[in-house]
Amino acid sequence: MIQNDTDLQLTRDQMQRLENTLSRLRAEVEPRSPRRFRLMAEAYVESLNKLRATVDVYLGVGEPSEVNAPLVLTLEGDGVRLGEARGSVVTRTYENLRKGIASVLDALTGTEDGPSGGRRKHWIEEVTDVPFTLASGSVRIVLGEPTTNEIFSAAQLADYDKALSLIVKAAEWADDGLESSLSLEGISDHVRHAVLLTLRRLVPSQGSEVETVTLGGRLVKKLGGARLSKSNRGRIDTALRGPAATTEYAELQGTIREVDLDKREFRLRGKGSNPSETECVFDERIQGEVTSFFDLGEPVVVAGMLQKTKGRDGRLEVELVTPLDATPDSEAATPKSAQP
């Protein structure tokens, strides 16, 4: 952030050096390989754009969108550049973040839109539906502030900020490379679980063209941002299991919702007037059955190993999906312990 005219001049000097480097690259590399030039120039262009934005804000002629944004997600990978990346790459990442923030808010405020039931509060859906813009260069999703016709209370906005901060802190932990456990002081195990699940949503899936998602913005303290790559998934999964986690065989009834074929996940909504939802993961072997029952919207029985942490139901690793009427003796949404 530029604070005075001295900072302004230093920023302009830095911009001049970057422009000189770009000019040299263009003269030496572009004639031989335009594609290589674009790849080599990308980082310099992004730095120049960021510096220009800070100058514009200081001079009062620019919007401080990316400079002061609470969170900026940078997507990197082969062919992941603005103007070339598929739209689904951007929308999927944004949706994963939005759903993750909402889940953390559910846990923070006592609304558990998950295994133990409870209807999500309307304001949570509204406050997490924030606007975003795309920045030039590689794909950067610049998260805006909550904006809606609904007026949020100071406590609700504080909870939203806290949820964002917890996600950022967890991302910095995932990127630090140290053999340490995630420490979120004063946070319950349920909230911690929701935060870790949000990280898992943001980590690129194995088949994705996105290689890394870097969290930046004013909430991120780590120099260079907090990088989430496919290699982080194992560490996050280990933390999700935790020392107190146990698994048992279970059969649950409900309907399949929110299928994510990239991550091979879906949510199973239980039956009744106040249905609970269980996060489920599946492998390629049963992908056909999952998509078929999702399209039909018919009730099913899913069976597999259910992860439980401190008595709370968590993720179900699905081994079998059958129509509900094919297993009439199953108990609705009741785990069955494995028989010896």
How confident is the model at residue 337, as a pLDDT? 41
How confident is the model at residue 210, as a pLDDT? 85
How confident is the model at residue 20, as a pLDDT? 92
Structure tokens at 280: 């489920």
Quick one: how many helices (H) and strands (E) in the chain?
Answer: 8, 10
Q: How confident is the chain (340 residues) per 10-residue block, as mean pLDDT? A: 81 91 90 85 78 75 64 80 73 88 87 45 84 73 73 86 93 81 77 88 82 87 84 83 67 90 88 77 87 89 78 75 62 41
**How crowded is the C-beta side of 193, counted as CA atoms within 13 Å?**
22
How confident is the model at residue 218, as a pLDDT? 82
Reference 90, options 50, 143, 161; nearest CA is 143
Query: For 297-319, b where at least 16 C-beta lie within 10 A, e where not — what string?
Result: eebbbbbbebbbbeebbbbbebe
CATH architecture observed for domain 246-326: Beta Barrel (2.40)
How many CB atoms sit inside 10 A of residue 43's CB? 12
Q: Judge contact between 290 and 236, C-beta under 8 A.
A: no
Residue 313's alpha-carbon distances to 61, 124, 165, in angstroms, are 52, 23, 25
Residue ranges of the domains in the chain?
5-59, 71-241, 246-326
Residue 147's alpha-carbon distances to 12, 67, 219, in angstroms, are 34, 18, 19
Rounded CA gap, 14 and 5, in Å?
A: 14
